[in-house]
Structure 1
Amino acid sequence: MLTAVSCATRDLAPGDRLDAWQRVLSRTFVDVEVTVDRDRPWTGELAARRLGALQIATEDFGPGTILRGARTAAADPRTHILVRRQLAGTALLLQDGRTAELHPGGLAFHDARRPFRIVLPARQRARILMVPRALLRLEERQLHALTATAVDGAEGGAAALLLPLLDGLVDEVTRVTAAGREQLARTVVDILATVALERIGGPPESALWERITASVRARLGEPGLAPQDIADQHAISLRYLHRLFQRQGTTVGAWIRARRLEAAHEELALPGAAHRSIAAVAARWGFTSPSHFSRAFRETYGMSPAQWRRAAGAVQAD
């Protein structure tokens, strides 16, 4: 569902503008207090669209300050993560004892669960994404380390590749079908999660690969083991998980199948496992269908499980 919110203070009487602007920001994002210098001219424009759980807004406002105080945060149940992508002008985002100075092209995360302040020295424009914290699949300690740290594609790394892609996907939202918007929203969240992990110094890819494969080996006997389960266990996006396996020249499903076959192959050769049926060995390593197991085993090893068991027994007897 694509719903829209819009507000322009220039359409209101001067005395009504500040209260109306504070109300629309609080309704669209989270409860905040807005202050402006009444001796300086200011205006505010907001256009927001919601795609299921994800909200995308463009804010044109300043000079002024947006504050979410401790009492407000405690009283407001909304705990989304907000991502500010600066489009024009500058902004200072303060949270958790840090200050991110954002210039056009910069991006920073802030957490609605805790107080924050945004200082806008002059009129500026920003895109703001509001994401349920669970969708980023980051631990609380990771979120606490992420807030008010500026991300800039000019620094290189994943951000240099992903931030322009992020902008393109967001611009595409209104031009695709409802089904396409849902897919775009998931892709946007995956990109944000990847950028966040890189910014906080997530585990090196080699170490992450070792950690993931070790945990998967320990879960080979779970018939329902799925890529999403693995991604959730390691607090990474599903897209990033698939990319890790692709870089190894395989897929998640193919890697799991190969490890299951290896484990069954080894067990069938053990004298101590001779009393177990082939179906029991297959089930032990996550195969729910004995016939499927037998076909996969023959394709991989050139003989049936029974033939391998006999051959292994003959070798051991010699």
Structure 2
Amino acid sequence: MSHAIRDLAPGDRPAAWQRALSETFVDLEVTVDQDRDQGRPWTGELTAQRLGALQIATEESGPGTVLRSARAVAADPRTHILVRRQLTGTALLLQDGRTAELSPGRTAFHDARRPFRIVFPERQRARILMVPRAVLRLEERHLHALTATVVDEAEGGAAALLLPLLDGLVDEVGRAGPVRREQLARAAAEILATVALDQAGRPPEPALWERITASLRTRLGEPGLTPRDIADQHAISLRYLHLLFQRHGTTVGAWLRTRRLEAAREELARPGSAHLPIAAVAARWGFTSPSHFSRAFRETYGLSPAQWRRTAAENAPGTRPGPPNLSDDGRIEPMARATMEHV
């Protein structure tokens, strides 16, 4: 089945596109944005084939919006699950109070049983797989949690292994004979079910960020801690770990350095730690080089560790600083140097 909305008069194209999408998927309402389509008349193209329980479609269109309204849900008995895998351009999928920002390589599930909206800010192309909800073998509460969440192979987990395989299977469907096509379609449906199960059980990104950073706060004193250690602990790919920190405006190394300096600064200001050499405090919080710690501390806070300790002691209520064991530049005086040398 193929629909090409390019030979019609421009005014007839939105209605024709709406009919094509509604016949292929579920009842939908369509609006198109003629003005932003890079000065060209709006066009759309849709090809689809059904193989048993699985339907595979490729959709290309100019900017606009697709809406599955509450009225359409009530009037249309189809309750399939649709899986949108973005190939070019971008799309915003909104359902169940969430928004999935889809760029090439990203995938999201949406449920025809409830309203959804897809916004195309630019010309785009996507592959849409449609299956009966029973194929995914998920409880309704898990399906509800799955919709409009981004599945990205860069995030690791099952998606990193299975989405490229799914692409290969779908591409092979177009080249295979009838019997082989049915086999490939069944395999593709199983892959979709596995990806859905993995995604439904994956913590949402805010929860994952909180889990990772909470764990890291307990490991600040490990000088050999690496991004690979962190990624393995939380069962995500190294690439996704770096991407997660990038989305929060930092890097793994910078985040660790900042938290370690904060912890050391707090300990240096604590009266109960006044007897500890600065090198011992630095080592406790993951700094293997006292000189590197002193430089990093001064760059961050504008004072050497010794100056900060003395200032904190002078400002502490009811306390008077004793004679310092450290010089203003953080070097250990003779009385304490032996302690530092074996840290």
Structure 2: distance between partners of 1:153 and 1:174? 23
Q: Which amino acid aligns with 1:9?
A: I
Question: 1:158: which partner in 2?
Answer: 158
Checking the alignment, whether the CA contact within 8 Å between 2:34 and 2:63 is kept in structure 1 is no
Question: 1:81: which partner in 2?
Answer: 81
Deviation at 1:176, TM superposition (A): 1.7
CA shift digits 1:88-128 (9 cap, x unpaired): 01000000000000010000000000000000000000000
Q: Runs in 1 of length 4+ with deviation above 4 angstroms?
A: none
Deviation at 1:37, TM superposition (A): 2.5
Question: 2:52: which partner in 1?
Answer: 52
User: Is residue 179 from structure 1 mapped to residue 179 from structure 2 by the alignment?
Assistant: yes
Checking the alignment, whether the CA contact within 8 Å between 1:42 and 1:123 is kept in structure 2 is no
Deviation at 1:38, TM superposition (A): 3.9
Report 1:199-210 matches (<5 A).
199-201=199-201
Structure 2: distance between partners of 1:124 and 1:135? 28
Structure 1 regions of 5+ residues with no counterpart? 204-318
Report 1:89-238 matches (<5 A).
89-201=89-201
Label 1:38 to 1:62 Cα distance change in 2 as closer, same or farther (>3 A): closer
Question: 2:4: which partner in 1?
Answer: 8
Structure 2: distance between partners of 1:195 and 1:170? 15
Checking the alignment, whether the CA contact within 8 Å between 2:33 and 2:62 is kept in structure 1 is no
SS of structure 2 residue aligned to 1:175: coil
Deviation at 1:174, TM superposition (A): 2.1
Q: Which protein shows a greater Rg? A: 2
Structure 2: distance between partners of 1:202 and 1:137? 16
Question: 1:26: which partner in 2?
Answer: 22
SS of structure 1 residue aligned to 2:174: helix
Structure 2: distance between partners of 1:200 and 1:54? 21
Structure 1: distance between partners of 2:191 and 2:34? 40
Checking the alignment, whether the CA contact within 8 Å between 2:10 and 2:42 is kept in structure 1 is no
Structure 1: distance between partners of 2:183 and 2:143? 24
Q: Which amino acid aligns with 2:33?
A: D
Question: 1:314: which partner in 2?
Answer: none
Structure 2 regions of 5+ residues with no counterpart? 204-343
Structure 1: distance between partners of 2:142 and 2:44? 33
Structure 2: distance between partners of 1:104 and 1:38? 23
Deviation at 1:202, TM superposition (A): 6.6
Q: TM-score, normalised by structure 1?
A: 0.61
Checking the alignment, whether the CA contact within 8 Å between 2:66 and 2:117 is kept in structure 1 is yes
Deviation at 1:144, TM superposition (A): 0.3
SS of structure 2 residue aligned to 1:128: strand
CA shift digits 1:6-28 (9 cap, x unpaired): 11111112221111000000000
Structure 2: distance between partners of 1:87 and 1:45? 14
Q: Which amino acid aligns with 1:15?
A: G
User: How many residues align structurally?
Assistant: 199
Deviation at 1:71, TM superposition (A): 0.8
Deviation at 1:84, TM superposition (A): 0.1
Question: 1:42: which partner in 2?
Answer: 42
Question: 2:317: which partner in 1?
Answer: none
Deviation at 1:63, TM superposition (A): 0.4
Structure 2: distance between partners of 1:16 and 1:115? 26
Label 1:202 to 1:15 Cα distance change in 2 as closer, same or farther (>3 A): closer
Q: Which amino acid aligns with 2:32?
A: V
The alignment yields a C-alpha RMSD, in angstroms, of 1.4
Question: 2:71: which partner in 1?
Answer: 71
CA shift digits 1:180-226 (9 cap, x unpaired): 112111111111111111112179xxxxxxxxxxxxxxxxxxxxxxx
SS of structure 2 residue aligned to 1:195: helix
